[in-house]
Amino acid sequence: MNAPQANLKHVSFLTANADAVIAFYLLLGAELQKDLRTSEGFRRVVLGFAGGGKLQFFEADTELPRPHPAWQEHIALHLSDLNASIQQLKEQGAAFSRELTTSPSGNPMAFVLDPDGRQVELLQA
């Protein structure tokens, strides 16, 4: 079976200082695309690059519990056929940390662990 086409959506990290991260990546040509508070109270920053690549940062606030493990640090991929990808991964024994559900933006998504235990967010392209 051929693998569905995948495009990198973003890579997500935690940061202790979102302002410092923004300043650093702006020096490298990034564009600030989002700087907001999530409904849970976390500061979320999205930086875009030429060609469509994005970095996402959640500011780890000592007064709030850490964000859900699925969105702390992860790689997000847009897939040409999400359901086929999920089926193929399950057949290969991949561990899912979050089964197929609806994202906050209303799109289908799931989270799987790569061989090193990294979270990979799977989204329908």
Amino acid in the structure at residue 10 = H
Read off the pTM. Answer: 0.70
Furthest-apart CA atoms within the chain: distance in Å = 48
Amino acid in the structure at residue 108 = P
- Output the tens digit of pLDDT for each of the chain's 125 residues: 576 788 888 999 888 899 999 998 898 789 999 999 988 888 999 999 888 889 999 887 666 566 566 556 888 888 889 999 899 899 999 999 999 999 877 889 999 888 778 888 899 88
Q: What is the CATH superfamily name and number for domain 6-124?
A: 2,3-Dihydroxybiphenyl 1,2-Dioxygenase, domain 1 (3.10.180.10)
H helices of the chain, where?
A: 18-27, 69-72, 82-91
Name which of 84, 121, 125 is nearest 1 in CA terms: 84
